[in-house]
Amino acid sequence: SKSYQLVVVGSGAGGAAIAARFSSKLGKGKVAIIEPSDAHYNQAMWTLVGGGIVKLEDTYRPMASIIPSTCDWIKDRATTFKPDTCTVSTQGGEEIKYEYLVVAVGLQLRYEDIKGLTEGLEMDPMLVSNYSAKYVTRTINAIDKFKGGQAVFTLPNTPIKCPGAPQKIMYLAESKWKKNGVKKSSTITYNTAMGVMLGAPKYAEVLRGVCEKRGIQVNFKTNLVEVNPEKKEAVFMKLETGETYVQPYDFMHVTPPMSTPTELKSSPLVNAGGFLTVDKYTLQHSQYPNVFGIGDCTDVPTPKTAAAVASQCGIVAENLAAVMKGGTLTRKYDGYTACPLVTSYNTCIMAEFAFEGVPMETFPIDQGKERQSMYWVKLHILPRVYNLMTKGWWSGPAPVRKIFHLGLSKQE
Ligand code: FAD
């Protein structure tokens, strides 16, 4: 069996960033990544792929180019976590021993949990989903082909990554349909299992206004349970009463239910919901002090985004380094997360907030407005920031925020 000072499981946004930091610090042979996939995607750009603004290839990097050269890549799935003996076993039958472990396995898409959905996505070109590399490129064709009628967008009844993304693609589609004239003969409906537009009241209210202004029908606490692609019908459940109803569709964008990967769910490291239990401030595991978590797979109560991962990366890096030296944990995560809510092909509401949905905006302007400048940031700056993060060179915008707010009060 192999043995490492640090083992990182998963090489997505969070795992790559942590491995980069520690492999340069600890040197060759000390850090390993367990990751089965050949492809690393910047998923945060997939709204732009679905909207036809960037190509899927522009969001892709070979996994080999993401994993630091000083880090060993165990190209396999982690299957069993044994924190009492500090080992992780893999599908290929290897036992990997660690002194310290960072779990960064993200979320698993569960299209199969909705009856008829997987078949529907195969056979109906007007049934689309931005959430998977397999489907995301079809979205723009369906938006362009839509000839009017019922357009439906969904958000499921599970925690998901980027809870803003299910509505961003709706705003992009709506602005296309307005331009090409089909909006006049269409009904646009947003069926969300949430009770609000977004977890932060400031932006939730603004987004309510965006929907009202554009005549988008919003149904809260409404969850997709079945798709019948032959009849072009969807079945939704009203979560408060349990009653179901049939919704015909001519276009539908589905956000699938999600959970943590099965291997983590069945480990001793998680809560009843299957999420890695960590201290929400230090990101250290609640029972195993040599285990940390980062990203979508943890139970940290803040919306799951790459922006959150960036801030968490700085916290995990410092706190894990302290634990390695036998010191105490000093850094506390504030819950920072961000959701660039693209509202058209040239506007964006840049939602940034901390625990409890308290706004924490980087720029010295009111970000609760649709702005062209923030669209530019989303399109040109954030993809670069993501790449810096995976190299371990970015831990969130706090320093930028401090500079902008030095001597500058908030302006309209
Ligand atoms: P991931 O990046 O998903 O990586 C998880 C990794 O773990 C994967 O490489 C996977 O192969 C690996 N893995 C899984 N199981 C195992 C196992 N058993 N063993 C080993 N490895 C395993 N974020 C934003 O900040 N802004 C946005 O605008 C935004 N928009 C989004 C739009 C869409 C459509 C989507 C899908 C996501 C969006 N996000 C956005 C969210 C962002 O992509 C995620 O929050 C981020 O990627 C989470 O990073 P992570 O490291 O936790 O998980």
pLDDT band at 408 (very low <50, low <70, confident <90, very high): low
Q: How are beta strands 217-219 and 72-74 bridged, if at all?
A: unpaired
Share of the chain above pLDDT 90, in %: 96
Q: What is the pLDDT of residue 410?
A: 57
Run of H or E including 12: none
**Which residues 6+ apart lie within 8 Å of 324 measured at CB?**
5, 99, 100
Q: How far apart are CA 176 and CA 168, in angstroms?
A: 13
DSSP state of 104: -
Q: Which of 56, 24, 197, 226 has the alpha carbon at shortest distance from 127?
A: 226
Please identify, in words, the CATH class of the domain defined by 110-258: alpha beta
Q: Which of 221, 169, 164, 235 has the alpha carbon at shortest distance from 192?
A: 221
Count Cβ atoms below 10 Å from residue 241 Cβ, excluding itself. 8
Q: What is the pLDDT of residue 412?
A: 44
Q: What is the pLDDT of residue 227?
A: 98
- Rounded mean pLDDT, 28-51: 98
For 2-108+259-324, CATH number?
Answer: 3.50.50.60
SS3 401: helix
Share of the chain above pLDDT 70, in %: 99
Q: What is the pLDDT of residue 190?
A: 98
Q: Could you give the C-alpha distances from 46 to 17, 53, 158, 412, in angstroms and in order? A: 20, 10, 20, 31
Q: What is the DSSP string of 304-329?
A: B-HHHHHHHHHHHHHHHHHHHTT---
Question: Ligand 1: which residue has its CA nearest to atom 8?
Answer: 12
pLDDT at 40 over 90: yes
Q: Ligand 1 mean position to 304 CA, how many Å?
A: 9
Atom of ligand 1 nearest to the CA of 304: 45
Q: What is the pLDDT of residue 402?
A: 87
Q: What is the pLDDT of residue 12?
A: 98
Query: In the chain, which residues fall in CATH 3.50.50.60?
Result: 2-108+259-324, 110-258
pLDDT at 411 over 60: no
307 CB within 6 A, ligand 1: yes
pLDDT tens-digit series, residues 197-256: 999 999 999 999 999 999 999 999 999 999 999 999 999 999 999 999 999 999 999 999
Atom of ligand 1 nearest to the CA of 105: 7
Q: Which of 6, 184, 28 has the alpha carbon at shortest distance from 99?
A: 6
What ipTM describes this predicted complex? 0.99
Q: Ligand 1 mean position to 161 CA, how many Å?
A: 7
SS3 139: helix
Annotation says 162 is catalytic: yes
Structure tokens at 397: 């915008």
pLDDT tens-digit series, residues 273-317: 999 999 999 999 999 999 999 999 999 999 999 999 999 999 999
